[in-house]
Amino acid sequence: MKITVAKTAGFCMGVRRAVEMALDASNRTADPIYSYGPLIHNPQVLNILGEKGITVINAIPEKGSGTAIIRAHGIPPSERDALIKAGFNVMDATCPKVIRVQSIIAKHARQGFAVIIIGDRAHPEVRGLMGYAGNNGYVAETMAELEALPDFERAIIVAQTTQNTAFFDSVKSWTQRLHPQYKVFDTICDSTENRQDEVKSLSATVDSVVVVGGFDSGNTRRLYEIARETGKPVTHIETEADLRISDLGKAGHIGITAGASCPNNIIDDTVRRLFELRGVNVDELIAQPA
């Protein structure tokens, strides 16, 4: 059996930055540290942060103390203000790529533009972006929702940073054809684009694909969807414990990719588990002379 791991699998820059900020804070202070909402979408990493004393809060108390870390996905500005008002020392771990989108939205909303966000309305990043749009914000998850929006005299279109690139390409084509006056900003991050390109090419060369990452992770689900579109058997797991021998079928060549919040150790454990399910002793394999 052959296993190929995608070069882009694992932590992206924004996730790595957020986790490092949280761990550094836990090493520098004995004061309470909270993450306002899950810092990233990976339960295993959140468990590690919990062991470091970083507690997740999902609501803002009237009074608080210690440090509140803004999640990598960002939050609405009103919630940031509420954290400060409550008495927290606020540490902003919002991904810089998300901050760029927030800035674009805030600038154009102030100028009276309608703001159309292509993304998942329930996703925390999109909720945060909508906070910067104020009353001018609209979310479209599908082409049907986009087409159902009013015809605006002035509008901008941005994408959730982890949006499907092929879908956003279709949005851009639609806009150019029917609403050329709208301003479209390419806000899908490079990491997302590279992962999606690689999973397409990887899927074409293997017999089946394993996608590793949090079940709540939007970017991981999109990798799974893109791999499925190739027609190859695809499995989405959160850890190696989710793997079953039935997932492998007769695949002789398995490709592995992982979401932006998946740590390398889980990817490594997945590779080891795949070999074990096929009866291969990985330790003996590693010990064999070249």
Say how many domains are in the chain: 3
**Averaged pLDDT for residues 162-179:** 97
Angle at 149 between CA 145 and CA 155, to 5 degrees: 120
Domain check: are 28 and 75 in the same one? yes
Domain check: are 254 and 171 in the same one? no
**Which pLDDT value is given to residue 290?**
40
Question: Which domain CATH number covers 65?
Answer: 3.40.50.11270
**Averaged pLDDT for residues 76-98:** 97
Domain check: are 283 and 240 in the same one? yes
Domain boundary among 154, 184, 214: 184
Find residue 159's DSSP bridge partners.
Answer: 118
**Which pLDDT value is given to residue 289?**
45
Among residues 225, 270, 50, which one has the least CA distance to residue 120?
A: 225
Domain check: are 43 and 87 in the same one? yes
- Residue 262's domain comprises 2-10+190-287
Domain check: are 202 and 259 in the same one? yes
Determine phi and psi for 129, rounding to 5 degrees: -60, -40
Domain boundary among 163, 184, 205: 184
Residue 288's pLDDT band (boundaries 50, 70, 90)? very low
Q: Is the Cβ–Cβ distance between 161 and 189 less than 8 Å?
A: yes
pTM: predicted TM-score of the whole model, two decimal places: 0.90
**Which pLDDT value is given to residue 280?**
78
**Averaged pLDDT for residues 228-248:** 91
Check whether 50 has a pLDDT greater than 90. yes
**Averaged pLDDT for residues 55-70:** 96
Q: Residue type for 255, please?
A: G
Domain check: are 128 and 142 in the same one? yes
What stretch of H or E contains 253?
Answer: strand 253-258
Domain check: are 126 and 57 in the same one? no
**Which pLDDT value is given to residue 15?**
96
Q: Is the Cβ–Cβ distance between 192 and 14 less than 8 Å?
A: no
Domain check: are 107 and 85 in the same one? no
Question: Which domain CATH number covers 113?
Answer: 3.40.1010.20
Active site residues: 125
User: What is the spatial distance between Cα 56 and Cα 42, in angstroms, rounded to a whole number?
Assistant: 13
Domain boundary among 49, 79, 94: 94
